Amino acid sequence: MSALHQSAVIGVIGAGAMGAGIAQVAAQAGHQVKLYDNREGVAQTSIDSMAKQLAKLVERNKFTAEQVQQILARLSVANLLEDFSDTGLVVEAIVENIDVKKNIFDALEAICSANCILASNTSSISITRLAAGMKHPERMVGMHFFNPAPIMKLVEVVSGLATDSDVATCVYETALNWGKKPVYAASTPGFIVNRVARPFYAESFRLRQEQVADCVTLDTLLKGAGGFRMGAFELTDMIGHDVNYAVTCSVFDAYYGDFRFQPSLIQKDLVDAGFLGRKSGQGFYSYKEGGDKPQAQCVEVSPLDDGAVITCEVSKDIGYLKGLVDRLSRAGVQVTEVSDLAKGYLKIGDTFVALTDGRMACERGKEEALNDLVLVDLALDYQSATHIALSRSATTSAEAFNDVVQCFDLVGIKVSEVVDSPALVVMRTVAMLANEAADAVLQGVASAEGVDTAMCFGLNYPQGPLVWADAIGVAEIDKVLTHLQQSYGEDRYRPSLLMRRIAMVEGRFHD
């Protein structure tokens, strides 16, 4: 089934944040759109504020005044649900309550024509449950937009057990025509994004709870090394802890208490205290006027002696740290390849340096009999990273550590020393995101491409978690997870079966 023709009338129910945005998207794509809200005057108010937003876009040359006039002319208020009798697609975006939504769909079945597609923008309710008891459950589908709908590209096209695949295809193709990046998803708790993103928050919360670093340092590392637009603390302060915590609890409950989705006590504390983030003036950070702006903890560097040259020995196979070695070399560090250095190691002065493999430095140093050992966190791209986490074993001397910090200083990368903890910060986060992504693929929720597209276009991740796992090496990620699981003895870190299977054959998630 191909996309809906532009002549199809689109109905949108609920003129709140999402409904108004969806109506705008459909009108911009050339459809006549009818907007209905059960609170009197709300649909018209939404269209009026849309007009103001669009006028601003004319000022910024995104649209001409004529285009905006045409878009607005395509939007109208529906005073009654009965006005939806000529629609080809209805998107529901009302309150997140299954009974209220079901009532709406019951009413729509009696009003709309037999071939009208009924879609819900729900973020957490099962499409299978919503469709249950409908006369034609096969035409019920999830069309999950992200906020703000006119800007965010992703649309999860969610199929319940009864959804006709032609209906899902039609919605997918229609979303494409609307300039969106649709991905198919099966109706499972959290769909793709709200499930796969859980570890992004959970691992930062745990690192904070275990006092590995403070919030601003962890946020800075996720941005400066990981390439994420925001760290977990600032992001959840923006989302609102009540909202973010409720999503985590609902996914945790829906998976029958799987510890991989366990909510965090430190976030619960914030909710209990009413510290909901930006909207309440206090979350992990304070938003009160004149409040402190915390800075990331950085290691003070002892300057190099005049004329001193840093030397760096590199093993023949340096793996993912190649970008770092290239950057050191360009900055004047004398890099020499040596054959007797174990795979993946650098030696700066007398200090052994390696990318974290999920073991703590104290553990790895002991197992490999390395006295001076510094572990480096993962970076999205070592060529452009601005900040990095390092950790060291208890036997590593201050001088040995300083030699390594000087190296990073030389190339302009700030260093935060974090408490010796498994997989540091970015590696731990990315490994857990990739693990959740792998499990979603394993369980047929979405394809590897679908998951990666969803995370990039729904949450602006710098790279899909599975593309990232391929770049690091799936076997490496599997090793990191296995070490995390051994350190904690917890099911939360168990590698996905798919991760393990691909790791065993040295395969990849993407061709």
Site of interaction with ligand NAI (CB under 6 A): 13-19, 37-39, 42, 93-96, 100, 104, 121-123, 145-147
Among the options 120, 123, 244, 435, which is catalytic?
123
**Which runs of consecutive H residues, i.e. helices, occur in 157-240?**
165-177, 193-196, 198-209, 215-224, 232-239
The burial of 489, by beta-carbon neighbours within 10 Å (0-12 exposed, 13-18 middle, 19 or more buried), is given as exposed
Identified catalytic residue from 46, 121, 144, 402 = 144
Shortest separation between residue 276's beta carbon and ligand NAI, angstroms: 15
What's the min distance (Å) between Cβ of 156 and ligand NAI? Answer: 9
* Cβ neighbours around 84 below 10 Å, total: 22
What is the smallest separation between the CB atom of 46 and ligand NAI, expressed in angstroms? Answer: 8
**Closest CB to ligand NAI among 94 and 426?**
94
Q: Which of 507, 503, 481 is nearest to 423 (CA)?
A: 481
Q: What angle do CA 466, 471, 477 make, to 5 degrees?
A: 65
Rounded distance between C-alpha atoms, residue 448 and residue 470, angstroms:
11
- Give 412: exposed, middle or buried? Use CB within 10 Å, 0-12, 13-18, 19+: exposed
> Annotated catalytic, 147?
no
DSSP 25: H
- 8 Å CB contact between 150 and 125: no
Q: Which residues contact 358 (CB under 8 A, 6 or more apart)?
A: 422, 423, 427, 428, 431, 479, 480, 481, 482, 483, 484, 487
Q: Which own/partner pairs from 409-412 qualify as long-range (CB within 8 Å, at least 24 positions apart)?
A: 409/301, 410/304, 410/310, 410/328, 410/331, 410/332, 410/333, 411/327, 411/328, 411/330, 411/331, 412/386
Q: Of the candidates 196, 148, 159, which has an alpha carbon nearest to the alpha carbon of residue 49?
A: 148
CB 456, min distance to ligand NAI, A = 17
Which burial class, exposed, middle or buried, applies to 69 when counting CB atoms under 10 A from its CB (0-12, 13-18, 19+)?
Answer: middle
Q: What percent of the chain is helix, strand and coil (3-state, nearest 5)? A: 45, 15, 40
Nearer to ligand NAI, 37 or 372 (CB): 37
CB of 427 to ligand NAI, least distance (A): 30
Instruction: Please state, in angstroms and rounded to a whole number, the distance separating the CA atoms of residues 339 and 341.
Output: 6
Specify the residue, 146 or 461, whose C-beta has the smaller distance to ligand NAI.
146
CB of 149 to ligand NAI, least distance (A): 8
Distance CA 217, CA 220 (A): 5
Kindly report the backbone phi and psi dihedral angles of residue 205, in degrees, each rounded to the nearest multiple of 5, phi listed first.
-60, -40
Q: Which is nearer to ligand NAI, 15 or 318 (CB)?
A: 15
Between residues 14 and 422, which has the closer beta carbon with respect to ligand NAI?
14
Q: Which of 156, 234, 313, 436 is catalytic?
A: 156
Q: Closer to ligand NAI at the Cβ: 16 or 319? A: 16
Q: Is 144 tagged catalytic?
A: yes
Q: Is residue 183 a contact partner of residue 453, using CB atoms and an 8 Å limit?
A: yes
- The answer to whether residue 156 is catalytic is yes
373 DSSP β-pair partners: 352
User: In angstroms, what is the minimal distance from the CB of 296 to ligand NAI?
Assistant: 29
Q: What DSSP element (H or E) covers 340?
A: none
Q: Report the residue number, 37 or 377, with the smaller CB distance to ligand NAI.
A: 37
CA 99 centroid distance within chain:
30
Shortest gap between Cβ of 15 and ligand NAI (angstroms)?
5
| Closest distance to ligand NAI from the beta carbon of 126 (Å) | 13
Q: Which is nearer to ligand NAI, 44 or 70 (CB)?
A: 44
Q: Does the active-site annotation cover 123?
A: yes
310 near 350, Cβ under 8 Å? no
In the bound state with ligand NAI, the residue whose beta carbon lies nearer, of 93 and 481, is 93
Catalytic residues: 123, 144, 156, 194
